Structure 1
């Protein structure tokens, strides 16, 4: 009998902690939490082998609500804490929960380096385009002209685009979903969990108190078919209520076209999430609703590359085999040492 077969069958309720969930009524975080708890039992990973690590912000309360191990770390440093944990305990499944403020402002440096190192982490960034916990200041993803408590005349900063940053850092798994598209969200979480290396997932999340409706065009039943495009590996980029529109390349630039007017599916751009060259994934990450394009959701990129935590542990194993177990006192008293009198 295998060890796996003796493990208890877990249900979503088994991943719910005894803590009262304290987000504002109607917050998109509830849907994200629910889909995470619903997805985790399908992985067959014991709860004691799962860790959620967060920084500071509304999203960062997440570890309290999961009946797993968790660390509520300091502002923006969750990727650094997670890197250390995964390197020391490669047997654990480690999730980083962050927001557009925590992850891209004070935490931008840590996020970038965790991604480029390809640490075996699952990073979920809740993007509501606002600072919610600190009561409505503009964030790194707020659009130009956004009027908030800290930008009463409108934001003049160019916004960051999370997926473009991740792909620019050579992320091996990049995906996007929406808090209200619950079936899609759960499927994306599962793909991320099954990926080896850094899996970066952006979730369009609504802050109904300080930035209500930020993603309404991508959520509303009347508009979402024309404003979003669900990516499928090996399939053409088709969207629209009647699936009558598509995206093709005009030189190096994407353009929206209508099918049936001398244009067939074969003329369209085909999605390849496994392409070693990230240029296509980057192009997709730049498609914006405000520029007249549907915004892609789903998996943008999924490739295999060496992982930081694996390589570090290989070096440790090699050193132990070559030199034996070290001694800290001997190390401190060897090499270039001197006495100050």
Structure 2
């Protein structure tokens, strides 16, 4: 069976916990300049918890399934009840589950997400079986048009093997690396970046990688344009997103969609962009619009898969996202 997309990365069970006792405060000593705080040593009342599934590979797969693409995630899960929850949820989103790998010794990953009134969250993560995904779990041939790689716990050898098999199979590569991959630094990542067809980073990640000023958008885009094989896409939170390839650069402006929860926005954005590139033969402008709409839809709900677009939007809805050429 040939797929439009194979997604590779984590699959976990999530529980979202919200309380008015969780506070966001400014900080000068942590990345992102904000701390999540609650009083130590006290019992804290929370709202009703929300149970769902997460992990970058399954979140992205849900978008692809919703938007009419044939998709299967390659992830490692346990043989426990949580694994059954993950499988059922993926099937609900139109995703093939036969490529999931079972680990009889390690439980399925689990995350507790503490959410504040702003929609921002702190994730307490047990990676579980997801951390054990290895080269031996990959099919010898990746029978797909695209491979969409999310965080694999910093295992660059695994990413290298994925890219080698993707290119041997004639598949294009999209990569949304996690913090543990990025910690290796630009020099270690350079051979992989040069083989990445579409790379997704947020502004903070791009600044960390390029060492450019976070206010020098053009410098960041120029540096990343040189680093990747074809296209670099940078998300910028409430300020929208940017994309640059060998011939063009664009900026996409978001609408004023209300944010309830930011979890999954990056996965929704990246998988939305790739869905657009597949459906619209590389049309980067409309692909940015699709990714933006998908992310805005997700942040209005609790859960990384709730709120995902159910179908490709029409011309009028796409036009709600303003996209302009950006000079670099």
- How high is the TM-score relative to the length of structure 2? 0.32
Q: Which has the higher contact order (CA 8 A, sep 6+)?
A: 2
More strand by percentage: 2
- How high is the TM-score relative to the length of structure 1? 0.31
Q: Please tell me whether Structure 1 or Structure 2 has the larger radius of gyration of its CA atoms.
A: 1
